[in-house]
Each structure stands twice: as structure tokens, then as C-alpha cells.
């Protein structure tokens, strides 16, 4: 269920500055504390919770939080580096990144052209060609994320329609998002939210996530009846869940 209010809280734990994302969630009964793969601390709480109470939760679990942050930073440091010639996962394929900075194209003195090039990503066979004005990690990630989001809209919409027909359900809406802590979600209103990062995992894993969320339209829980319905289309769903847990911290984007 989506949060309706998010605040960024600044804390200091044992002299270490810490930024916390605070989410108040309607109808949530318990507080959920987590650290995502980008080393960001999240507190998801019932709607009545205050920011002060959220800070107390983090401070009350500071040993766990600091340990999780250290582990997340190590995983982030081990991620593949975005650079010329690196290979990017795309469903069941690998695409070689071909970076073409504006200065190499003789356009470095034209600011408008540089800006226009910053978001131009084109797939040519097994190559992903990126024309970009200024090459930094932020600009590379921004341009590539935009391309992956566009592909996600096309591919995930098609898979939702396909499996919705097979399951006999109809989602109200499908949204492509960039969740840090989950692959997808389904709201009580029948709205699906799917993570664009799914385009970096195998097609069979993508289908599992889509089917999982669609099954929530019939069962808004994780009851035996829910898993039975998932298993009707994905018999090995347990194995796929484990694969997704492993992959989440290894993706380049």
C-alpha cells in the first residue's frame, strides 16, 4: 500500500549523520524499519505516527541499523560500474554500453545540442548506444533509467494484459515506478505498481512478479489460497522468490 506522506528526517547516531525516509501508511498496524540497497533507512509506520516517534524507533534499533547500513554500502560498492563497454542486463539479454560523449561528436561548444543528446539512448542489436552531453555517473544513470522505464512500460503492460486474462482479473491501473525495496505492489483499489528495474532480470522472473501482483486482486493477503493461485501459473514460485532476493543487490541500475 502506498504511503501518503513522506518526510526526510536528519538524525545523528554515535556521531554519524543519518538521513531517514519516513512514510506514514494508511491502515498499517505496525512499524516496519528497513535499509534498502542504496543504504537509505526507511521507517514505514501507521498514519498516526509522528516524526519524533519515527526517530525514536531508529535510535532504539541503532545497532541493527548501523549494521545494515554497513552491509548495504558493501553491496553497493560491489555493483557493476557503468563505463564504456560494460554489459547491462535486459530481460534475457546482455547489452553492451556504447557511450558517445558530445565532445567526441564535435558538439561540445553547443549547449543546446548537448542537452538534447543527454537522453538519447538507442538499442542496436546487442549494443545500447548512449549519446550524452556530459559524462558523469548521475547523467549516465539518468539517461539509462529513462530508457529502461520506457521499455518497462511497453513490456510490463503487455505481460499484465496477458496474465490478467488468464487469471480472470482486471487491474484498475498499472504504474511504472522506481521502488527501492520491492519489485511490485497491488493496492486495495486494484492499482498495480511495477518496478522498472524488473527489466534487468530474466523474463520468467518478470512474469512471476506480474502474476504475484495480479493474484492480489483476488486475495489481498499471502494466504494459502493466494499462493495456490500463484502456483497455478508459476509452480516454482519459491525458487523465483529466492532468485529475486539475490538479484536485487547486484543490478547495475
CA distance 239 to 118: 39
CA distance 65 to 186: 28
* CA atoms 45, 48, 50, 56: torsion sign: negative
CA distance 133 to 206: 33
Average pLDDT over every residue of 174-181: 88
Least confident segment among 27-31, 143-147, 219-223, 246-250? 246-250
Q: DSSP states of 105-122 as a string?
A: GT-TT-HHHHHHHTTEEE
Residue 207 CA: distances (Å) to CA of 161, 166, 189, 211: 11, 13, 22, 6
Percent of the chain with pLDDT over 90: 51
Question: Residue 137: how many CB atoms within 10 A of its CB?
Answer: 10
Domains of the chain: 5-77 (no CATH), 87-145 (no CATH), 150-247 (3.30.2010.10)
Q: Residue 104: which pLDDT band, with cuts at 50, 70 and 90? A: low
Bridge partner residues of 119 (DSSP): none
pLDDT attached to residue 198: 97
pLDDT tens digits, 28-73? 888 989 888 778 899 998 888 888 898 898 999 999 999 988 888 8
pLDDT attached to residue 47: 87
Question: 506522506: which residue's cell?
Answer: 5
| Number of residues written out for the chain | 253
Q: Are strands 184-186 and 41-46 parallel, antiparallel or unpaired?
A: unpaired
Q: Would the pLDDT of 108 be above 50?
A: no
3-state secondary structure of 253: coil
Q: Residue 116: which pLDDT band, with cuts at 50, 70 and 90? A: very low
Q: Would the pLDDT of 215 be above 50?
A: yes
Least confident segment among 100-109, 183-192, 215-224? 100-109
Report pTM: 0.72
Average pLDDT over every residue of 113-119: 50
Bridge partner residues of 196 (DSSP): none
pLDDT attached to residue 4: 57
Average pLDDT over every residue of 73-96: 88
Amino acid at each position: 500500500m502506498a504511503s501518503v506522506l513522506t518526510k526526510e528526517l536528519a538524525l545523528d547516531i554515535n556521531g554519524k549523520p543519518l538521513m531517514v525516509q519516513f512514510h506514514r501508511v494508511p491502515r498499517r498496524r505496525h512499524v516496519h524499519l528497513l535499509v534498502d540497497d542504496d543504504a537509505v533507512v526507511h521507517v514505514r509506520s501507521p498514519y498516526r505516527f509522528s516524526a519524533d516517534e519515527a526517530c525514536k524507533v531508529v535510535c532504539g534499533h541503532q545497532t541493527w541499523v548501523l549494521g545494515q547500513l554497513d552491509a548495504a554500502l558493501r553491496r553497493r560498492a560491489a555493483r557493476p560500474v557503468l563505463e564504456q563497454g560494460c554489459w547491462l542486463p535486459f530481460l534475457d539479454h546482455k547489452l553492451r554500453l556504447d557511450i558517445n560523449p558530445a565532445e567526441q561528436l564535435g558538439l561540445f561548444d553547443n549547449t543546446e545540442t548537448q542537452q538534447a543528446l543527454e537522453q538519447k539512448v538507442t538499442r542496436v542489436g546487442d549494443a545500447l548506444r548512449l549519446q550524452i552531453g556530459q559524462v558523469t555517473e548521475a547523467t549516465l544513470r539518468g539517461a539509462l533509467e529513462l530508457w529502461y522505464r520506457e521499455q518497462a512500460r511497453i513490456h510490463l503492460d503487455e505481460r499484465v494484459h496477458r496474465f490478467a486474462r488468464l487469471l480472470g482479473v482486471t487491474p484498475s491501473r498499472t504504474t511504472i515506478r522506481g521502488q527501492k525495496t520491492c519489485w511490485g505492489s497491488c493496492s486495495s483499489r486494484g492499482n498495480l505498481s511495477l518496478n522498472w528495474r524488473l527489466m534487468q532480470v530474466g523474463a520468467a522472473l518478470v512474469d512471476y512478479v506480474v502474476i504475484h501482483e495480479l493474484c492480489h486482486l483476488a486475495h489481498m493477503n499471502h494466504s494459502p489460497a493466494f499462493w495456490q493461485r500463484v502456483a497455478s501459473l508459476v509452480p516454482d514460485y519459491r525458487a523465483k522468490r529466492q532468485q529475486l532476493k539475490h538479484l536485487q543487490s547486484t543490478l547495475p541500475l
